[in-house]
Amino acid sequence: MEHTQEPSPVADDPQARTLLRQAFEATARWQKDFKGFTADLTVNVNGKETSGPVIVKGPREVSVQLSDGDTQKWAQEQLGMIAVHRGPRSFEESDGKYSLTMEEDGHPFGTKLNIHGSNSFYRIKDNRITQINRKMAHPGMNPFAFTINVEESAITQDKKNLTTKYTVYYYSPTDGKLTNVESFTDTHVRVGSSDLPASRRIITYENGQVVVKSLTFTNHKLL
């Protein structure tokens, strides 16, 4: 029986850790005591509109009521994704739990930051995460990979970076073939001390055609 050596753990680079921590802490998130919000939502898929109420308390506590079941499920997933990215969490419980190293390769999006043990690497420029690269493999699912390019962001009242435009490229990690591209444009509204979603437009490719979907939120109320 052949003995395979475990890969030795990568030594953490304190400079890489400081770089990522600063970018992480400069990213807008809902405050620690955030209880959630309610709003009225209108979803438009290539011209077909449906409306209904939403309640968002956290990534796993999202309720959307729309007459169309498929649209409702999709809108719920979008809101869950927004809540995951915007929810309060510490650096230590996210990327800070991995070994981090960095390399300068002259890329327009900045320094390459390797997150060892997570199948991910980021790029960081001007204290912002400008690119996220990740490979995903879940049991029972085909492995897939994606690259998120952050193209534009706003500065909140709290002087934090809030992404307003990004594009996701999905591809197969086995043969490198591009499988889809999604372009996101977000706007936000300030309610109390929270920046809440005001709109999201997604341009994607489905069933042989380019599809434009939008979510528009009105009448926000904090819980």
pLDDT in tens, 74-129: 999 999 999 999 998 899 989 999 999 999 999 999 999 999 989 999 999 999 99
Mean pLDDT on 38-58: 96
The closest alpha carbon to 152, from 187, 103, 114, belongs to 187
Q: Is residue 75 part of a domain?
A: yes
b/e map 25-40, b = 16+ CB within 10 Å: eebbbbeeebebbbbe
Q: Report d(CA 94, CA 89) in Å as an integer.
A: 7
Hey, what are 174's tokens? 């086995």
Q: Is residue 9 part of a domain?
A: no
Give me the pLDDT at residue 156, please: 96
Q: Is residue 102 part of a domain?
A: yes
Q: Is residue 81 part of a domain?
A: yes
* Overall number of domains in the chain: 1
Query: How confident is residue 2, by pLDDT bands cut at 50, 70 and 90?
Result: very low
Q: Is residue 80 part of a domain?
A: yes
Q: What is the β-pairing status of strands 178-191 and 111-116?
A: unpaired
Hey, what are 118's tokens? 């997570």
Q: Bridge partners of 128?
A: 125
Sign of CA dihedral 80, 81, 82, 85: positive
Phi/psi for 148 (5° steps) reads -105, 125
In the DSSP assignment, the letter for residue 68 is: S
Which residue's structure tokens are 């011209």?
47
Q: Is residue 146 part of a domain?
A: yes
Give me the pLDDT at residue 8, please: 55
Residue 64 makes CB contacts below 8 A (sequence gap 6+) with: 41, 52, 53, 54, 72, 75, 76, 79
| Residue 203 predicted with pLDDT over 80 | yes
Check if the beta carbon of residue 219 is closer than 8 Å to that of residue 207.
no
pLDDT digit string, tens, across residues 137-149: 877 778 899 999 9
Q: Is residue 57 part of a domain?
A: yes
Q: Is residue 125 part of a domain?
A: yes
Full residue range of the structural domain in which residue 79 is found: 14-222
